[in-house]
């Protein structure tokens, strides 16, 4: 017979595991909301980096995305094929100038609205009060780190 004393105890709470759990929930919600735009979270991030850092190189984009240069080359090639970005490379071997096309800019604007809707659903006034606090704390911490 198992007694109370013999039962395994729940693991200690870990901020890292809790943040990862919430991040997975956010990624799932955001992915589902972006799907009608034919966007993934990774594609959205890459479009955002290209728009936000004019003149970013493939290496810069890889660092910002936390991925390899080869993966960025493949992703940018797909974005070029979809007419979302253009690569104004002067010649092979020279630095690239990657920028959004008008179509890419329109898609990014639509995606930003979707992100705001997901933010509101997960962290807004009608969300779980704890998630509201977490969302506010994350934004505050990020803004504070930019000011430092």
Domain that holds residue 54: 30-147
Average pLDDT, the chain: 89
- HEC string of the chain equals CCCHHHCCCCCCCCHHHHHHHHHHHHHHHHHHHHHHHCCCHHHHHHHHHHHHCCCCCHHHHHHHHCCCHHHHHHHHHHHHHCCCEEECCCCCCCCCCEEECHHHHHHHHHHHHHHHHHHHHHHCCCCCHHHHHHHHHHHHHHHHHHHC
Taking only the tens place, the pLDDT of each residue in 40-70 is 999 999 999 999 988 888 889 999 999 999 9
Q: Answer yes or no: is 13 within a domain.
A: no
In a domain, 105, yes or no: yes
The predicted pLDDT at position 17 comes to 87
In a domain, 5, yes or no: no
- Cα 37 to Cα 77, 87, 93, 110, 126: the distances in Å are 19, 22, 33, 8, 25
The answer to whether residue 20 is domain-embedded is no
Residue at 18 is within a domain: no
User: Within a domain: residue 2?
Assistant: no
CATH number reported for the structural domain that contains residue 138 in this entry? 1.10.10.10
pLDDT, average across residues 89-102: 74
**Mean pLDDT (whole number) for 66-83:** 93
**Cα–Cα nearest to 37, from 103, 102, 120:** 103
What is the C-alpha to C-alpha distance for residues 92 and 79, in angstroms, rounded to an integer?
19
CA distance 107 to 100: 10
Report if residue 86 sits inside a domain.
yes
- Using pLDDT thresholds of 50, 70 and 90, give the confidence band for residue 92: low
Structure confidence at residue 13 (pLDDT): 84
Overall pTM surpassing 0.85 (yes/no): no
Beta bridge partners of 87: 98
For residue 136, is it within any domain? yes
The 10s digit of each residue's pLDDT in 16-40 is 888 899 999 999 999 999 999 999 9
**Structural domain tally of the chain?**
1
pLDDT of residue 1: 60
Over range 98-108, report the average pLDDT: 96
């Amino acid at each position: 017979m198992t007694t109370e004393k013999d039962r395994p105890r729940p693991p200690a709470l870990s901020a890292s595991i809790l943040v990862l759990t919430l991040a997975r929930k956010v990624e799932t919600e955001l992915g589902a909301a972006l799907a009608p735009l034919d966007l993934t979270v990774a594609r959205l991030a890459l479009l955002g980096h290209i728009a936000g850092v004019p003149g970013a190189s493939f290496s810069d984009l890889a660092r910002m995305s936390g991925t390899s240069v080869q993966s960025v080359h493949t992703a940018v090639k797909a974005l070029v094929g979809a007419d979302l970005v253009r690569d104004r490379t002067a010649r092979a071997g020279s630095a690239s100038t990657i920028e959004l096309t008008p179509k890419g800019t329109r898609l990014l604007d639509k995606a930003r609205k979707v992100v705001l809707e997901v933010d509101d659903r997960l962290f807004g006034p009608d969300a779980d009060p704890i998630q509201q606090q977490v969302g506010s704390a994350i934004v505050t911490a990020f803004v504070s780190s930019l000011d430092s």
